[in-house]
Structures are given as structure tokens and as C-alpha cells.
Amino acid sequence: MTGERTGHHEYADEIGLYFESYGLPRIPGRILGWLLVCEPPHQTAEELAEALDISRGSVSMAMKMLSANKAVVRQAVPGSRRTHWRLRPGFWLDEAAEKARQAHEWIKQTERGLELLADAPPESRQRLEEAKEMYTFLAEQYGRIETLWHEQRKQ
């Protein structure tokens, strides 16, 4: 990579390591981190590859993953024929909605487990009941997030 490493690069690397700590690939995390701090907020694949000192192929694979997860979108830039990428507006709120959906799925899974243990002693059901209580609580809280977010943004 040409030029001096900056705090922006270090930040992108930190986000990549954060991704990796959760079992996700590091490169998409680095790209996400870069897109959070870069100027302009939209970048071509070539710009991403150069800024992060990664191959064009790595960028392509990472953008497929980030696109599939609806984290990034293509942006048309007047006068440019290249594809530019940016973070998708609303992505963060949608992440909370996805967490709510996952919580509801876990509630269904715990209910299925409790059905299997319907005749079991209470101590055998305790783990599933605790999981169901937790995910019921989380689903309720995530359900409130969108309203609270919009209220906070108005202030």
C-alpha cells in the first residue's frame, strides 16, 4: 500500500479483528470499518483494495457477503462508470429488527424443546424455560427499539 497508515486504517483493522472474533471473515469487517470512516463515503473496489492493501478478488468476495447481508449498496456516481459502494442507509436499525426476528425464532425452538420435555421434572425443563424467558424479554425489547430510535432522532 502506498502512503502512510492512518488512524482510519487502524480502525478498519480493528473492525476486521472484531468480525474475526465472532467467527466471521476479517476482510469484510475491514471493509465495513473503512466505509464507516472513509471520505468520500462511497468507494470503488479499486479504492477499497488500495486503501486496505488487499486484492481486488478479496474485495469482490467481501462485497458479495456484505451485499447479501444488506450492509452495503451500490451507488451511482455521476461521471464514473465504476461501481461505487457505500453503507446502506438504515442498516443499523435493520440489524436490530434481525435480532428481534432471531429472538422470536429462539422462542419457537425453546417451546419445541419444552413440548418434548412436557412430562419431565421441573429441573429438567429449567434450562429451556430460562432460555425462553430470556428470548421473550429480548424480543419485547427489540420490538421497542425502532420506536425509541425514531423518538430519539427527533430530539
The 10s digit of each residue's pLDDT in 127-146 is 999 999 999 999 999 989 98
- 0.85 exceeded by pTM: no
The 10s digit of each residue's pLDDT in 44-80 is 999 999 999 999 999 999 999 999 999 999 998 999 9
Instruction: Please report the DSSP string for the chain in residue order.
Output: --S---HHHHHHHHHHHHHHHTTS-HHHHHHHHHHHH-SSS-EEHHHHHHHHT--HHHHHHHHHHHHHTTSEEEE--TT--S-EEEEPTTHHHHHHHHHHHHHHHHHHHHHHHHHHTTTS-HHHHHHHHHHHHHHHHHHHHHHHHHHHHHHHHH-
Q: What is the pLDDT of residue 143?
A: 87
